[in-house]
Amino acid sequence: MIEIENLTKRYGTQTAVADVSFRCETGTVTGFLGPNGAGKSTTMRILCGLTPATGGRALIDGTPYRNLPNPGRAVGVLLDASAQHAGRTGREVLTLGTMVLGLPRERVTQVLDLVGLDKKAADKRVGNYSLGMRQRLGLAHALLGNPSTLVLDEPANGLDPEGIFWMRGLLREFADRGGTVLLSSHLLHEIEAVADHLVMIGNGRIAADGSKQELLAGAGTLVRALEPEPLADALRRAGVTITPTADGAFLADAEALVIGRAAAAIGAVLTELRAADGAGLEALFLQLTATASTSAPAGAINPSMEVAR
């Protein structure tokens, strides 16, 4: 289990994370979502003992990461797949890991097989790896100690569709065996496919925290029109809050009847009108993070700053 309690991180007068609290239960995958600069990576770095918190605490099975007797055996971490030594081979990177963790060398072959890196890839220098191969090696390193918890920041970057499908199955199986996964990703459809629980953060504050079913059930109504702008204006005049989606539709916080009447009043032609359901995560993400941006903590870090990513 992961517990984040009232976590705050300030850099001088700038606030990266402000009073953040959430839990990742055992046997679940928690999707940690937010735009660049929202505080995701800062929170995960604090959790993994890489950055000290200004206030609050982050616990793994009731213990701070730095107090775990052999943390690599309890927690698998992948925060930056490009951090591996470029001059070593993949096999050498993992072999050094077994030496540090006190594991048998046979474990290297086991995790290489698990992540789909064959002998040719394992004996190649990491500097010659593609980004997708680095991600697989990073996952192998995270799994090396057979941990009960995984903390992964954008692990699908560089993976092709087949690789993303493979990773989804790996994480789902890990959680179903009783593991705990905290997964940050900008690939919303993949998060929706694998996560049990969703935590959304914007400008250092939690914007939403709940099960996938709970959050998406209230995602609103999806509407699409032949001429979207006049409809958008009509809905706003009717007091309806709308959020544009990436494919040109709107997510509206009103019932279909209200939207239909507003469209009829201006003669708008609707091409789609339904409960948001499956389209809900992207629209909910845009809606909640937009709301969070209007209530940013004083001195909040600019979203473009890498330190608060």
pLDDT digits (tens, 9 = 90+) for 60-113: 999 999 999 999 999 999 998 888 899 999 999 999 999 999 999 999 999 999
Q: Assess if residue 237 is contained within a domain.
A: yes
On the 0-12 / 13-18 / 19+ scale of CB atoms within 10 A, 209 is: middle
Q: Assess if residue 99 is contained within a domain.
A: yes
Query: 220 near 252, Cβ under 8 Å?
Result: yes
Domain boundary among 210, 234, 262: 210
Domain boundary among 210, 229, 252: 210
Query: What are the residue ranges in the chain where pLDDT is below 50?
Result: 298-309
Looking at the structure, tell me whether residues 257 and 149 fall in a common domain.
no
pLDDT digits (tens, 9 = 90+) for 24-35: 999 999 999 988
Give the per-residue pLDDT at 215.
76
Q: Assess if residue 241 is contained within a domain.
A: yes
Give the per-residue pLDDT at 207.
85
Query: 25 near 180, Cβ under 8 Å?
Result: yes
What HEC string does 265-304 produce?
A: HHCCCEEEEEECHHHHHHHHHHHHHHHHHCCCCCCECCCC
Q: Which two tokens mark 161?
A: 């569709």
The whole domain housing 149 covers 2-210
Give the per-residue pLDDT at 101.
95
Give the per-residue pLDDT at 93.
96
Looking at the structure, tell me whether residues 104 and 237 fall in a common domain.
no
Q: How far is CA 230 from CA 54, 143, 244, 253, in A?
A: 48, 53, 14, 18
Domain boundary among 167, 187, 210: 210
Looking at the structure, tell me whether residues 197 and 174 fall in a common domain.
yes
Query: 78 near 155, Cβ under 8 Å?
Result: yes
Looking at the structure, tell me whether residues 196 and 243 fall in a common domain.
no
Q: Assess if residue 293 is contained within a domain.
A: no
Give the per-residue pLDDT at 21.
96
